[in-house]
Amino acid sequence: MALHDWNLTPEAAIALQKRLAPSVRREDTLGEVGLIAGMDIGFEDGGETTRAALVLLEWPSLTLVEQVVHREPTRMPYVPGLLSFREIPAALGAFEQLSQRPDLIMVDGQGIAHPRRLGIASHLGLWLDLPTIGVGKSRLCGQFGEVPSAKGEWAPLTDRRREEDPSDVSVDARGRVTIGAVLRSREGVKPLFVSPGHRLSLPTAVDWVVRCLGRTKLPEPTRLADRLASRKGEVALSGQLSL
């Protein structure tokens, strides 16, 4: 299927997610990490234009080495659970302009913390066959208790087991599985929802997000991508170090 054939009905999109979800890898397959990408989407013209922003940071300096913005007409509406079909086409357009392949990608949105375990981070990871982490600012599904107040600590995000979950996942006494972490990325601020996208485990996903944290709520990769996607013009070259 071509990139632009994603003119699916909600039913077809859901069927596709169920078919793809089993291919998502939740084990660590990370190699040496030297480049980390951050991806986010923004909109213009009241939503008619989709703007994909991509930043590439060098690890461990977290120095910005490349940034890309790609614009194209919006072709799908926002539907909870089907976000990837609306945003991935533009994201891929941005990746085509990137001169280097990242070793890890942090995406604004959920990974497997999704009703069918295929949030935008997982879907993008599958498509690019690269390790991805979902870094959401709010919850899509799942339940969680009180989140510790110290930076770096987190509470598990759990959900009832779904057919899309692997046969070997650990299920608790109540038939629930852990799909992500509600992370305190900064004291006194609403927590982040971190979940594995593709090719890495939850502990590893949380580790990388924490390692990329500065003084702000969002880790550097998505913080810079966020800024590039929201503000107009390309504003990331300098004045990036908030560490």
Partner DNA sequence: GCGACAG
Partner DNA sequence: ATCTTGTCGC
Residue numbers in the known binding site for Mg(2+) are: 40, 108
C-beta of 101 vs 190, nearer to DNA: 190
Q: Is 176 in the site for DNA (CB under 7 A)?
A: no
Cα 120 to its chain centre, rounded Å, is 6
CA distances to 51, 83, 104, 139, 171 from 179, in Å: 29, 18, 19, 12, 11
Q: Is 108 in the site for DNA (CB under 7 A)?
A: yes
- Quick note: the x/- pattern for DNA over 130-159, rule CB under 7 A, is ----x-xxxxx-------------------
C-beta of 54 vs 229, nearer to DNA: 229
Residue of 197, 215, 194, 218 lying closest to 206 (CA atoms) = 194
Cα–Cα distance measured from residue 85 to residue 81, given in angstroms and rounded to the nearest whole number: 9
Least distance between DNA and beta carbon 81 (Å)? 5
Q: Is 41 in the site for DNA (CB under 7 A)?
A: yes
Restricted to residues 45-74, the positions that interact with DNA (CB under 7 A) are 46-47, 51
- Quick note: the x/- pattern for DNA over 200-229, rule CB under 7 A, is -----------------------------x
DSSP string, 97-139: H-SS--SEEEEES-SS-STTS--HHHHHHHHHTS-EEEEESS-
Q: List phi, psi (to 5°) of 155.
A: -120, 145
Q: Is 39 in the site for DNA (CB under 7 A)?
A: no
Q: Under the rule (CB under 7 A), what is the footprint of DNA?
A: 40-43, 46-47, 51, 78, 80-84, 108-110, 114, 119-121, 134, 136-140, 229-230
